[in-house]
Structure 1
Amino acid sequence: MISFLKKHTIAYVFMLPAVVFLILLLLVPIINVFIKSFYESNLLIVGDDLFIGLQNFINVMQDPLFWTNVKNSIVYTFGSVGGEYVVGLGTAILLNQNIKGRAFFRGAMIIPWVVPIVVAGMTWRWMLNPDYGIINVLLMNIGILDQSINWLGSETTAMFSVIWVNVWRSFPFYTISFLAVLQTINKNELEAAEIDGANMFQKFWNITFPKLKGISIILIVLHLIWTFNNFDFIWILTEGGPLNATETLAIATYKEAFMKYHYGTASAISVLMVVILIGMMALYFWLQNKQEAKGDN
């Protein structure tokens, strides 16, 4: 053990600043949030925290708005991840074909991912505006709509609109990942299957899709975490409105901490978010393992 440490001393020395930085940036704030969740803490009153045990959690879970926020978070997360997966897979398959201008389309596809979130969010707010937004103008000109819709200002369309914008923003990440895997598939396998009489769907389901399973798991898990904690896009587009129709747990945490200054309550919501996220991940992996067990049998 001592010889191992001596041999890798230089490596550990160079790693130390990064480890210290990560501890100060991530671990210390996380621990502080867990501690503060047991206190009545107000950001306007420094040093006057009162230990109240689980009362913050009880107050939060007794609030009907909390469960609305939970529902909104789940709908937003699964709607976004599902949409991103379908659109990303579809565009990857199209861009893997030998089509004219493929290089151009591959380059253009990445634009939503590289555009700054604030710029993209403000642009979509303008495009979805009920008075002068280009989306309503286009849909009315082609006869789909008879009158303009307040996409972000109506309870019935706000969540759909926010999910759509998030899908538009994130699907290139899926496309690039899927396309990288599709490029590695042996063409001879597809040709052999075609000779054996397999149609396009059968080739995709039996040859292509199984090879995408590994990257699919990674993408879905990462984006479940990222989307569940997403704050910026919803805040820019709707700020959680109208009438809390798009208010997720991340938005509620921000409002409690920086608008109402209830830091203890915000910390409790954050801890509950972690618990819900762990439960979602556990359920996903359980279903995944169950599916694999059926496949092995």
Structure 2
Amino acid sequence: MTTQSVPKTSPQVRPSVAKPARLARFLAGPWPWMLPALFMLMLFRLYPILSQFYYAMTDMRVQNLQEFNFVGLDNYRFLLEDQFFIDTLLFTFFFTFAGVLLQWVIGFGLALLMDQPLQGRTFFRLGIMASWVISSLIVGYTWRLMLHEGNAGVLSAWLMELGYEDPVRWLSAPDNAQYSVIAVNVWRSTAYTMVFMLAGLQTIPRDLLEAATVDGANLWQRLVKIKIPYMRQLIAINVVFITIATFNVYEQILVLTRGGPGRATETVSLKMYETAFGSLSSGSLGLIGRGAAMGNIMFLFTLVFALAYLWLTLYRKGDEA
């Protein structure tokens, strides 16, 4: 018996419609509407960030933007050896830590209070939020008038009415100036934390709190065992946001003290601007390359803190649970 082999024929190639179909689905989806926004984001966000890293390795000056040389890590080396910059960095850390701690404690306390069925709580919410919606420049100028020394300052006048003979040097004494700029920033920014935490408190199931109350849990136990664990992710995100915002505060300190007296209230953001775009009459200012290096150091610190804090509070605790 013989077998006859049939030659294999290649399948007939049909015109492909996959690519036009995929293109049609792409055009019908959300991406065409998002591309303009993504382009603007790349142009005005990503490009400046990458340019900043490049400029930080040059000796670019405002006086001559066309001629500059590549200096490598010299700007970073200079900053790490500059005691003035180290002192500024240390005060920025202190300003950020104290500000974030007070903002969160006071803001969370206000959120707990506003979550209660109190009469007029809507009025109080709006009053507290007013400090956040007002421009930071207006806040700075208002508080500078209130903290002015002598009878012209509202707080000093009140204290003198109470019997104090000498006006308090709110902004001219180094220690008082540091505490004053922290207090002003806390006054303005606490409302943001209050709204953030209040939104989280209102997502907690009421039947869960009522069941805990029936079981005999007091206010402290309900707070520690139910409310804070339930809001853990929201708290972590809020702390990261207010830390980044506090670390980069600029306008309020500029208006209140301009970094003085001396350098007592100078933060990295203020020093960065003064170095890169400050008074050009001084040869040591207008150093865009060195200012960009300061900005990169700020970016590095905030990035490391945000990643480490989110990992410790969210991912690690989530794995343990």
Shared fold, TM over 0.5? yes
What is the DSSP-based 3-state SS (H/G/I as helix, E as strand, rest coil) of the residue aligned with 2:33? helix
**Distance of 2:299 and 2:203 partners within structure 1:** 37
Confirm or deny that 1:137 pairs with 2:157.
Answer: yes
Contact 2:233/2:314 (CA < 8 Å) preserved in 1?
no
What residue number does 1:126 align with?
A: 145
Match for residue 266 of structure 1? 291
Indicate yes or no: 2:249 matched with 1:238. no
2:95 alignment partner in structure 1:
76
Corresponding position: 1:218 with 2:234? no
Residue 4 of structure 1: CA displacement?
4.4
Gaps of at least 5 residues in structure 1 are none
Question: In structure 2, what residue type is equivalent to 1:27?
Answer: L
After superposition, the Cα gap between the structure-2 partners of 1:138 and 1:8, relative to the gap in structure 1 and judged at 3 Å, is farther
> Which residue matches 1:9?
27
Deviation of 1:240 after TM superposition, in Å, equals 1.1
In structure 2, the gaps of 5 or more residues are: 1-17, 279-284
Counterpart Cα distance in 1 of 2:87 and 2:23: 52
Name which one, 1 or 2, has greater alpha-carbon Rg: 2
Q: CA deviation at 1:291?
A: 7.0
Q: Which moved more, 1:26-35 or 1:269-278?
A: 269-278
- Helix, strand or coil at the partner of 2:69: strand
Most deviating of 280-289 and 211-220:
280-289
Q: Which residue among 30, 36, 41 is the counterpart of 1:22?
A: 41
Any residues of structure 2 matched to 1:5-154 within 5 Å, and which? Answer: 5-10=23-28, 11-131=30-150, 132-142=152-162, 147-154=166-173
Helix, strand or coil for the counterpart of 1:151? coil
Q: Distance in 1 between matches of 2:307 and 2:33?
A: 35
Query: 1-side partners of 2:319 and 2:36: how far apart?
Result: 47
**Count of residues in correspondence between the two structures:** 295
Shift of 1:116: 1.3
Deviation by residue 1:93-113 (Cα, 9 ceiling, x = unmatched): 111111121221122121001
Greater shift, 196-205 or 284-293, is seen at 284-293
Alignment-mate amino acid for residue 193 of structure 1 = A
SS in 2 for 1:157: helix
Amino acid corresponding to residue 25 of structure 2 in structure 1: K
Once residues 41 and 264 of structure 2 are traced to their aligned partners in structure 1, the CA distance between those partners, rounded to angstroms, is 35
User: Aligned residues: percent identity?
Assistant: 33
| 1:119 Cα deviation after fit | 1.1
- Secondary structure of the equivalent of 1:49? coil
- CA–CA separation in structure 2 for the residues paired with 1:114 and 1:265: 33
Q: CA deviation at 1:5?
A: 4.5
Q: Return the alpha-carbon distance in structure 1 between the equivalents of residues 38 and 182 of structure 2.
A: 36
Aligned to 2:15: none
Shift of 1:202: 1.3
Amino acid of the structure 1 residue aligned with 2:296: V
Q: Is the 2:236–2:310 Cα contact (8 Å) retained in structure 1?
A: no
Deviating more after overlay: 271-280 vs 285-294: 285-294
Report the alpha carbon displacement of residue 293 of structure 1 after superposing the two structures with TM. 7.0
For residues 12-63 of structure 1, give each alpha carbon's deviation from its aligned partner in whole angstroms, at most 9, with x where no partner exists.
Answer: 3222221121112111111111111111111101311011111111111111
CA shift for structure 1 position 294: 9.6
